[in-house]
Amino acid sequence: MDEKNTKKMLSAAKKRWKDTTLQQTLTKNSERIKSFHNLSNKEITTLYTPDDIHKDDYLANQNFPGQFPFLRGIHPNLYRGRLWTMRQFAGFGSAEETNQRYKYLLDHGETGLSVAFDYPTLYGYDTDHPCARGEFGKCGVAVSSLKDMEILFSGIPVDTITTSMTINGPAAIIWAMYIANAEKQHISKKINGGTIQNDILKEYIAQKSYIFPPEPSMRLIVDTFEYGFKEIPRWNTISISGYHIREAGSTAIQELAFTLADGLEYVKAATARGLDIDAFAPRLSFFFNAHNDLFEEIAKYRAARRIWAQELKKMGAKKDRSLLMRFHTQTAGCSLSAQQPEINIVRVTIQALAAVLGGTQSLHTNSMDEALALPSEKAVRIALRTQQIIAEESGVTYTVDPLGGSYYVEWLTDMMEEETYRYFDRIERLGGVIPAIEKGFFQREIAESAYRYQKEIDNHERIIVGVNDYQLDETIGIPILKMDEKGEERQINRLKKLRKNRDNQKVRERLDQLRKAAEKDHNLMPFILACVKEYATLGETCQVLRDVFGEYQELAIY
Amino acid sequence: MGKIRVLVAKPGLDGHDRGAKIVARALRDAGMEVIYSGLHQTADQIITTAIQEDVHVIGLSLLSGAHMTLFVDVATLAKKHDLQNVLIIGGGIIPEDDIPALKKAGISAVFGPGTPVEKIVEYIETYVKR
Amino acid sequence: MKTVEQQILAGDQQAIARLITAVENNSPVAIDVMRSLHRHTGHAHIIGVTGVMGGGKSSLIYKLSSVMRKKGLKIGIIAIDPTSPFTGGALLGDRIRMGELSDDPDVFIRSMGTRGMLGGLSGAVYDVIEILDAAGKDVILIETVGVGQAEVDIVKVADTTIVLLVPGLGDSIQTIKAGLMEIADIFVVNKADKPGADQTVAELESFLDVYAPTVSQRKPVIVSTSVKENMGFEDLHEQIQLHYMFLQKNEKVVEKRKIRYEVVLVEIIRKRLMGLIYDQKRLTQTVDQLVSDVVQRKLDPYTAADTIFSSLIK
């Protein structure tokens, strides 16, 4: 009663302030622009005060970190205990070259690995497939067989570091190679965890590195969930990703809503198989983007934690661990300019700060030259140093969720949550996530936002420093990474040799067993493992599944 | 005079189609007829489409770094089919150092990240051969 | 050096493509070529595919064409998308669905904008059909715009008209535009893997029981297909052939084509008249003046039209 009255009085006082104090200023000088809209196209007002916060029951809506609904964080003392994992996404050329880069990064204080694969690998093709033409090693490292995986991790202790692998369509196969390599090193039971991205829904929605249609893809993913919590319980069998949705042009709200909707879809698929939600939910992890609007990004992570905890509880999760939304963050590649590339260091700093203030569990900071080419060593080092400065010098790690209670951030958090639930309703009305994909709903929403953003820049309604204002006529002086030109040849020769020297009789048998298992509804992980251990290549193993499952065709959505 | 017809194509395996789609829409809004190829096109498919659709312009978009192979493939095949009147332009993550070689191969212009779309419209309207 | 006519007859892709552009742009040179091509036409079976947006028309055409290719048929595909009435631009994206057909030398695909035509077709579509027919295509598939409007013009163009429906779109057959229902020779219930497909087929059957066949005087058949399961396309092709055989046996082909060429004639006359009115400077000014007079109530539109006609006939 008292609180309500206070709020009413405050609202009245605020109106008076608007009509008098603020109005006087506005009469003298109009504001720089007519209205202020954030990146999600939501209007932001001059001032936020306690009466803007509607979810104001602290214990129910915010509570303490480590307690439901985990708005303020999943750990009670967050970075006071342990810093986030500094994990730089890297991979290019041959396994040999990338192996060297990993060792370089670990030497410079990186605490986890993150593997980028090249396009042929992402699509389940071997390096010598015709579709792989021109793509070898360009966007990541080529891994066509267990042999490449062995080289990639030679001298790297997979029992002490954790590895994240950005792989989706053929995730089960690549993961099987990682496990098989650890077995060869006699440390399979001691794998110190890691992550496979394994998030196919966002591929259909945004990133487009899909292979199979939705149904068999979902089956493969649930297979990995099941295998994971039984055999390698510390492994994150999925990283439900908003990053690519955002890079494809969505707003922060769309990123939040679509990613969580995908997450809930995986939970549904796994429980439909009969898996115990408390067995697999603790192994679900997330991956978000960090763009330039500092407060909006922070609010996004906070809202994500609360929505996830609420929804998992509704779906029957009992253990606290099942409710925790743990996430990795990468700064926004799409926000970087090719012009005056050095200024990207500043953008990345703001974005990284958002991720840390939002309570991320691990972080990749982009290198300044990524709008030009693959990052050079120096650029990668500066990106890593950015994280180290935030961690060691900025002081933002001293307390948990330092922006909690900011009227603006709390208002943003609540608003983004509301908008997310509005999207959930729309998706539900379309029949769920997969039907919505098949109707092109997400793709159209993202294309609209991307087009609007570009128009704003073209019309100078949004200023991007160095791009549409503050330009400089200069030649770009950043050293660009050159790859070993012999890499592709070496890789193709290795493949040829491998196909000749392995036990081809056994390879055929294993592939045949995989085919039969795929036609029925066995969990495919053991069969895939058996194939890769005999050095069946990625392309061969994937082809068996392509034959059984078919391939996905994109929709015509702009 | 008839409308300018443009083929916006994504060669290779790269799935980043944000830029290609934005450009396709912008060209449409500038009054052109835009044929969008979709993802994963081979050079053969791109050139056959360009011939059948009788386009004035082929716009290639690629962010995977494979442009030195794939853009050049398309330009070479265009020459083989006598499409010297077709303007071929490219966009994506393309290092400055690669541009001279691309131009030599037959890519008339390269547009990097941050290019305003009107600049592409203007370029086409200026250099299109009809 | 071959003439354009010879190149077209030989199936030269570049020549076909350029002639299509010329007819789309109403180029006078094209008209002469079109005159000489006509005697080489009449071979192709013209199939129209229409239906609601999101029904999967492009995918259906792709799958159907794959079946036809296996039987050795040469195919022309005309895919029509809307032109923006404001900018005159168009985004033509139907090729995305055409997969490996897009570089099959015996398949010619052309995307067209409506360029101001209503009714789901493009003004140049009649000429494009003639060109592809003369170029030796056995089958010409025409995909209409599909914006859910009554795209009934296709029936005047096609020998066989396929109307595509999907389960769960608009719930009931009753809500589909009546005109669309009456033009079908073959109904395809696509996405037959989806729930509700059986219901859609059942509703269609009862609809057909009460509706007497109109345009072709043959009771339409219903075919279920699924792109996802790659199912029903052989059956669809067979039904298309059966329909064509029915037309041929009963001399209905001639009837159908009379309808088409009447439309073609009207269209040619319309274009010429419009050309006469708008291409001459003197008359353009007259039109402008007359329109102003109508606005100011000095004249009524009928009298204004009389003035234009009398100056044309002079």
**pLDDT, tens digit (0-9, with 9 covering 90-100), for A154-180:** 999 888 889 999 999 999 999 999 999
Contact call for A439 and C94, based on CB within 8 A: no
Average pLDDT estimate for B106-114: 94
Return the SS3 of B7. strand
Q: CB contact, 8 Å: C190 with chain A?
A: no
Cα C136 to Cα C75: distance, rounded to the nearest angstrom: 9
Contact A439, A430 (CB under 8 A): yes
Interface test with A, best of C52, C66, C228 (most A CBs within 10 A): C228
A207 neighbourhood in chain B, CB within 8 Å:
15
Inform me whether the pLDDT recorded for A480 exceeds 70.
no
pLDDT, tens digit (0-9, with 9 covering 90-100), for A365-376: 999 998 887 788
Spatial CA neighbour of A266 closest among A222, A309, A211, A210: A222
Tally of CB atoms within 10 A around A46: 11
The amino acid at residue B87 is L
What strands lie across the sheet with B109-111, from one edge to the other?
Answer: B109-111, B87-92, B57-62, B5-9, B33-36, C90-92
C58 at A interface, C-beta within 8 A? yes
Q: Please, which residues 9-48 of chain C have a Cβ atom closer than 8 Å to chain B? A: 13-14, 16-18, 20-21, 24-25, 27
Which residue in chain A is spatially nearest to C93 when comparing CA positions?
A: A556
| pLDDT (mean) for A290-311 | 98
pLDDT at B120 over 90: yes
pLDDT of the residue at A50? 93
Label residue A404 left, alpha or beta by phi (over 0 means left) and psi (-120 to 50 means alpha). Answer: beta
pLDDT at C171: 47
pLDDT value of position C213: 60
Interface contact flag, A553 C54, Cβ < 8 Å: no
Q: Which residue of B has its CA nearest to A456?
A: B116
CB-based contact (8 Å) between B128 and chain A?
no
Q: What is the pLDDT of residues A220-270, one digit of tens each?
A: 999 999 999 999 999 999 999 999 999 999 999 999 999 999 999 999 999
Q: What is the pLDDT of residue A27?
A: 93
Residue of C nearest to A553 (CA): C97
User: ipTM score of the complex?
Assistant: 0.93
* Domain residue ranges of chain C, discontinuous segments joined by +: 40-250, 263-313
* Sign for the pseudo-dihedral over CA of A289, A450, A444, B90: negative
B55: Cα within 13 Å, side-chain hemisphere: 29
Query: Domain C40-250 classified CATH 3.60.15.10?
Result: no
A508 contacts: CB under 8 Å, gap ≥ 6: none
The partner residue sitting opposite C95, judged by closest CB among B24, B37, B54, is B37
- CB contact under 8 Å between B2 and C21, yes or no, is yes
What stretches of A82-198 show up as alpha helix (H) in DSSP?
Answer: 95-107, 119-122, 146-152, 171-184
On whether any CB of chain C is under 8 Å from the CB of A439, the answer is yes
Check residue C84 and report its DSSP letter.
Answer: P
User: Which residues, in sequence order, are bridge partners of residue C80?
Assistant: C112
CA distance C93 to chain A (A): 6
Whether residue A65 has pLDDT greater than 70: yes
CA neighbours within 13 Å on the CB side: how many for A139?
27
In chain A, residues with a C-beta closer than 8 Å to the C-beta of B66 are 119, 133-135, 138
Domains and CATH numbers, chain B: 5-127 (3.40.50.280)
Hey, which chains touch B, using 3+ CB pairs under 8 Å?
A, C
Which of helix, strand or coil describes residue A268? helix
Segments in chain C below pLDDT 50: 171
**For residue A155, what are its two tokens?**
């001298």
Nearest CA among B76, B54, B72 for reference residue B6: B54
Residue A69, preceding bond cis, omega within 30 degrees?
Answer: yes
Looking at residue A82, what is its pLDDT?
95
- Tell whether the model's pLDDT for residue B15 goes beyond 80: yes
Looking at residue B127, what is its pLDDT?
Answer: 96
**Model confidence band, residue A191 (pLDDT cutoffs 50, 70, 90):** confident
Residue C267: closest CA among C77, C130, C132: C130
Give chain B's end-to-end CA distance (angstroms, integer): 8
Q: Which of A134-143, A405-414, B49-58 has the lowest mean pLDDT?
A: A134-143
Considering the domain A76-458 in this protein, what is its CATH number?
Answer: 3.20.20.240
- For residue B96, the distance in angstroms to the closest alpha carbon of chain C comes to 31
Where is pLDDT greater, at C313 or A63?
A: A63
Calculate what percentage of chain A has a pLDDT beyond 70: 99
Interchain CB contact of A208 with C (< 8 Å) = no
What average pLDDT is seen over chain A? Answer: 94
Give the best residue of C4, C102, C122, C131 to mutate against chain B (max B CB count within 10 A).
C102
Chains adjacent to A (≥3 CB pairs closer than 8 angstroms):
B, C
